[in-house]
Structure 1
Amino acid sequence: MSRGVACRPADRAARPRGVPGAPEIVDVAGIPMSALVSRAPAPRAVIVAMHGGMTTGRYFDVPELPRQSLLRTASALGFTVVAPDRPGVGASAPHERLFADSARRRVDLVHGLLDALVPPGSRGAGLFVVGHSRGTELALQLAADERGADLLGVEIAATGRRLHPEAEKVMARHRRGERPSGLDTVLWGPERLYPESVARGLRVFAPNPSYEAVEGPRWQEMLPRYAAAVRVPVHLTLGDHERWWQTGPEALADLAALFTAAPRVVAEMQADAGHNLSLGRTALAYHLRVLSFAEECAAARG
């Protein structure tokens, strides 16, 4: 897809290195796409971080929580990071009808965004994609696409094959047309695992694209198809207090078994973590695990 020129915030030169400012916006085939960007000089590689539902790219860099920021941690270790607002979120929200029925076009939009913000000559060893929750769908679509073979690897976090019993109850109420009470507890509990500001409500909320209401219920049947098409190393993470998806060694093994074409699959439990791993008290530990895997992938690329 054709691309425009990045519109970079005016305060970029005044900010400390590694501290993202306002989202940068580029035009991709007539659709504005936004992303948070933290650039490292001579980057080791580029981390592309896909946020989940009801959030934006800001999920990976909440200014009030610098220790939880993937962008700040990764750039301090020599990685450039791009955290797009997924298609239908952020700057592209008014245009979601143009790509609602086309996963391929959403993948093309992300590639157009990346080509504008981090052209191929500025990517170091290459691209490593991180997907959280609903963002794992787009991450796997990027990896399963024919261009996905060029990725260094992919991190899939907070997704699974079977719903947790508590999530099943929430979804049953939703199917009956009732208010899905308990959703907040399932997605944001237990509160003790998060900084106090997150427990008070600092959760980077944003409306979900309308097309996700149609595609979301089909995720469990779509996941095996996408996973089987991934041909790069895969890292899988579930929090030990995950309440949307079933967790534990057996659940991780079932998920890992889907990636039949991946040359390497590493599945790990993150201790003291709930669904939103990148906002919890153990976010730094989780991010360092992901970046360690990305470094291994970059080293293997040579």
Structure 2
Amino acid sequence: MTFMEPQLAIGVHRQEADVHGVPASALVAETAQPRAVIVALHGGATTSAYFDHPGHPRLSLLRTAAAAGFTVVALDRPGYGSSAGHEERMRTPEQRTDFAFAAMNAFLADRDGGLGVFLWAHSAGCELAVRMAGDPRAAGLLGVELAGMGRTHHPRSLAAMEEWRRDPARTRPNLRRALWDPPHAYPPDVYGGRGIGAPSPSYEGSRDGWQEEFARLAARVRVPVHITLAEYEQVWANGPEGLADLASMFTGSPRVVPHEQAGAGHNTSVSRTALAYHLHVLAFVEECALGVRALPAEQGRHDG
């Protein structure tokens, strides 16, 4: 039996929970006696389906992680899924963080948590993940994966945003291309967000003061951090400089691992190389579950 065969039989279920009178939803793939639980946070203009694209089980984080022994709870972020239409309860970052913690606790309340919780986030979901990872309520968190995020925008997305300010109706396709190009990085029926798109809540899109706030939030994170930028990333500055810039922000983390995902576009978890990406980060999750930390430089030299 190959690794991929059991994936197809793994069940993924949509579940709901009440969070102080607001419905929360998630996609869940559960395994008996899990190594750990992965809580996944999707990006903008999609839902938790980003981590389990219909018709593409090979690209699914939920199925791949469950096959490797991890339970996955892919939350619909505040204002998405069942909580869409409740934006009045989620206007501030603090309200959204509170909602996410309460939703996570509700979905994990009656589940075996294994060795702990690992946060896995993409794009706009990374803001919420960084807020959660640096919060005292995240004590005991195993680690965090941040994919498709940054402090400085890629030149192509900067140009597209400037065009959009001048003529929103005419230049919106340029913004879309920055999010989804190049086409060859995705299956044809996935490119452009087919099958996983959703309206963005009204609070999303504003990034005023993000560089300063991100530096403040990142410094609070005290757990291992894995950072992924795609080879063809066109929303945020990528390559070695982009990765190094992000890694330098996590001054309180005991271990920071930057990674460029070959063959992927911005949306790494639905790119053609999604399986390779997921397996790469799952190895990091396993290391976090085992309590692996970076060796001191002097010890590393002697061991070599």
TM-score, normalised to structure 2, is 0.89
The residue identity in structure 2 corresponding to 1:136 is C
1:68 aligns with 2:59: yes
Which residue number corresponds to residue 270 of structure 1? 261
* Residue of 81, 96, 114 corresponding to 1:90: 81
- Structure 1 residue aligned with 2:34: 43
Q: Equivalent residue of 2:91, what SS? A: coil
Q: How many pairs are equivalent?
A: 285
Match of 1:205 in 2: 197
Cα distance in 1 for partners of 2:264, 2:41 equals 19
Distance 2:18 2:131 in 1: 21
Contact kept? 1:148, 1:230, Cα under 8 Å: no
Are 1:193 and 2:170 an aligned pair?
A: no
- Aligned-partner SS, 1:269: strand
- Structure-2 residue corresponding to 1:172: 162
Q: How many angstroms apart in 2 are the aligned matches of 1:250 and 1:178?
A: 31
Q: 1:143 to 1:201 in 2, by over 3 A?
A: closer
User: How much does 1:95 deviate?
Assistant: 1.1
For the pair 1:20 / 2:25, whether they are aligned, the reply is no
TM-superposed deviation, 1:301: 7.5
What's 1:11 paired with? none
CA distance in 1, matches of 2:10, 2:145: 22
Rounded Cα–Cα distance in structure 2 between residues aligned with 1:192 and 1:17: 28
- Alpha-carbon distance in 2 for matches of 1:204, 1:263: 35
CA distance in 2, matches of 1:175, 1:224: 27
Match of 1:112 among 97, 102, 108: 102
Secondary structure of the residue aligned to 2:184 is helix
Q: Where has structure 1 moved over 6 Å in runs of 4 or more?
A: none
Judged with a 3 Å threshold, the aligned counterparts in structure 2 of structure 1 residues 85 and 17 are, in CA distance, closer, same or farther, namely: same
Q: Secondary structure at the match of 2:85?
A: helix
Give the counterpart letter for 1:269 in structure 2: E
Q: Distance in 2 between matches of 1:272 and 1:109?
A: 35
Alignment of 1:51-66 (within 5 A): 51-66=42-57
1:268 alignment partner, SS class = strand
Decide whether aligned partners of structure 1 residues 189 and 271 sit closer, same or farther in structure 2, where only a CA change above 3 A counts.
Answer: same
2: CA distance between counterparts of 1:107 and 1:187?
25
Deviations 1:2-60 (A, max 9, x none): xxxxxxxxxxxxxx752213x21100111100000011101100001100000000000
Deviations 1:191-219 (A, max 9, x none): 01111211375251111110113x43443
Judged with a 3 Å threshold, the aligned counterparts in structure 2 of structure 1 residues 146 and 256 are, in CA distance, closer, same or farther, namely: same
**How much is the aligned-residue C-alpha RMSD, in angstroms?**
1.9
Q: Who is 2:143 aligned against?
A: 153
Identity percentage of aligned residues: 50
- In structure 2, relative to structure 1, the CA distance for the partners of 1:218 and 1:64 (3 Å cut) is farther
Query: Is residue 230–residue 262 contact of structure 1 (8 Å, CA) maintained in 2?
Result: yes
Alpha carbons of 1:243 and 1:212: their partners in 2 closer, same or farther (altered >3 Å)?
Answer: same
1:125 touches 1:301 (CA, 8 Å); kept in 2? no
- Within the candidate set 245, 258, 280, 2:236 is matched to 245
Q: Which residue of the partner structure matches residue 225 of structure 1? A: 216
Distance 1:139 1:200 in 2: 24
Q: Which one of the candidate residues 108, 112, 115 is aligned to 1:122?
A: 112
Contact kept, 8 Å, 1:53 with 1:135, in 2: the verdict is: yes
* Counterpart position of 1:5: none
Where 2:260 maps in the other structure, the secondary structure is strand
Q: Which residue of 1 aligns with 2:297?
A: none
Give the 3-state SS of the residue equivalent to 2:290 in structure 1: helix
Find the aligned partners of 1:116 and 1:200 in 2 and give their Cα distance.
33
CA distance in 2, matches of 1:17, 1:81: 15
